[in-house]
């Protein structure tokens, strides 16, 4: 069975910082977050799109977009699960391996 799914996740990637929120009109905790959409096949292979880092108010979600390069340089590891980051590469490698095996089989006899 081949199952295809998709979703959206928001992951908190750092400690909260206190800032003045223009929407709440008060001092609030702002959380650095990574928001991304993903698609996956069979829960094993996946890919990520619409990735963006943001600093969001913990009360009203108002916030700023953060620079992806700056954010990723400051992170120890990517908050995106392995199969979503490299799933597509694994899938392509698997297809290539199968194609080569089929080719070798056809030419072996």
* Contact status, residue 30 vs residue 16, Cβ threshold 8 Å: yes
Please tell me what DSSP assigns to residue 67.
P
Q: Which is nearer to Zn ion, 34 or 57 (CB)?
A: 57
Q: In angstroms, what is the minimal distance from the CB of 30 to Zn ion? A: 8
Q: Which stretches of the chain bind Zn ion, using CB under 5 A?
A: 21, 23-24, 28, 57, 59-60, 62
Count H helices and E strands in the chain, helices first.
Answer: 2, 5
Q: Which is nearer to Zn ion, 37 or 58 (CB)?
A: 58
Q: Which is nearer to Zn ion, 23 or 44 (CB)?
A: 23
Q: In angstroms, what is the minimal distance from the CB of 71 to Zn ion? A: 21
Q: In angstroms, what is the minimal distance from the CB of 10 to Zn ion? A: 16
String of DSSP letters for 57-109 = ETTT--EEEEPHHHHHHH-SS-SS-HHHHHHHHHHHHHHHHHHHHHHHHHTT-
Q: In angstroms, what is the minimal distance from the CB of 75 to Zn ion? A: 24
Q: Which is nearer to Zn ion, 18 or 108 (CB)?
A: 18
């Amino acid at each position: 069975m081949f199952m295809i799914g998709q979703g959206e996740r928001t992951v908190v990637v750092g400690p909260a910082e206190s800032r003045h929120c223009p929407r709440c009109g008060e001092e609030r905790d702002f959380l650095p977050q990574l928001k991304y959409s993903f698609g996956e096949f069979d829960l094993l292979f996946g890919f990520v799109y619409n990735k963006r880092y943001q600093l969001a108010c913990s009360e009203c979600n108002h916030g700023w977009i953060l620079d992806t390069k700056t954010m990723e340089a400051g992170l120890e590891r990517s908050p995106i699960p392995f199969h979503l980051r490299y799933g597509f590469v694994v899938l392509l490698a698997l297809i290539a391996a199968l194609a080569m095996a089929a080719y070798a089989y056809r030419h072996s006899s």
